[in-house]
Amino acid sequence: MQSIDSLRELNSKLLAEIAELRKVNAELKDKNAEIPDLKRKFAEIESEKVELKARIAEILRQAVEESKRRDVENAELKARIEELEKNKTVTTKLESENAEFRDRITKVEQRQMLNDTSSNNSSPNFNSVADQLSMATHHEKPLVDKKMDTSLPEEPIPEVIAKQSVSAVNISVMDQSAEFTMSYLRWKTWELWITWRMV
């Protein structure tokens, strides 16, 4: 009797274990069904990993090339900056020289205007002297009174001397002021008369 009861108890335990094993087996089957999906996902991850590695390598290559290109550009820009600085120095020097030239030109122009003004102011005197010399050449009227102590000659002044007198006056006016030019004109005319007299 006891053996039958023991067998029944054992059988009950075995049935319980079998039920538990079936439950575990069912769970394993479900998990086994997920394995292909896991394998597919793993394969996708590996593929993405390879692509990422390739992209990283390409980015690194481009970064190296960009760095080299920028180094070249920086070297060119540095050379251009140095050249511009040299040109700036030269330009500054040229501007300074140009300013000096402009100042000199302005002074020359002012002097020329002064000479032109002096020449214009003295022009009637040139004509007057030339006319007087010409009149003396044609025996119309002597330049100096015979009664003066200067003892000027009564003979006419040759035309060559008259032209030289006018030329000398023109040259004198370009370099002297109006007042000095008039004095020089009188002195030069007198000197020519004396020279001609001595000859």
For residues 35-56, average pLDDT? 90
For residues 8-13, average pLDDT? 86
Q: How confident is the model at residue 129 (pLDDT cuts 50, 70, 90)?
A: very low
DSSP codes joined into one string, 160-186: HHHHHHHHHHHHHHHHS-HHHHHHHHH
CB-based contacts of 141, cutoff 8 Å, min separation 6: 135
185 domain residue, yes or no? yes
71 domain residue, yes or no? no
34 domain residue, yes or no? no
The pLDDT of residue 99 is 83
Average pLDDT over all residues of the chain:
73
Report whether pLDDT(126) > 60.
Answer: no
16 domain residue, yes or no? no
pLDDT digits (tens, 9 = 90+) for 11-25: 888 999 999 999 999
Report whether pLDDT(137) > 80.
Answer: no
Q: How confident is the model at residue 33 (pLDDT cuts 50, 70, 90)?
A: confident
What is the distance, to the nearest Å, from the Cα of residue 3 to the centroid of all Cα atoms in its chain?
119
Q: For the chain, what is the largest distance between any 2 Cα atoms, rounded to a whole number of angstroms?
A: 199
Domain count, the chain: 1
Contact 168, 188 (CB under 8 A): yes
Q: Cα separation of 89 and 94, whole Å?
A: 9
137 domain residue, yes or no? yes
Q: At what angle are helices 159-175 and 2-137 packed, to 10 degrees?
A: 150
Task: Please give the DSSP secondary-structure letter assigned to residue 158.
Answer: P
127 domain residue, yes or no? yes
Q: Could you list the residue range(s) of the whole structural domain that residue 132 is in?
A: 114-198
The pLDDT of residue 147 is 44
pTM of the full structure: 0.32
100 domain residue, yes or no? no
38 domain residue, yes or no? no
The pLDDT of residue 44 is 93
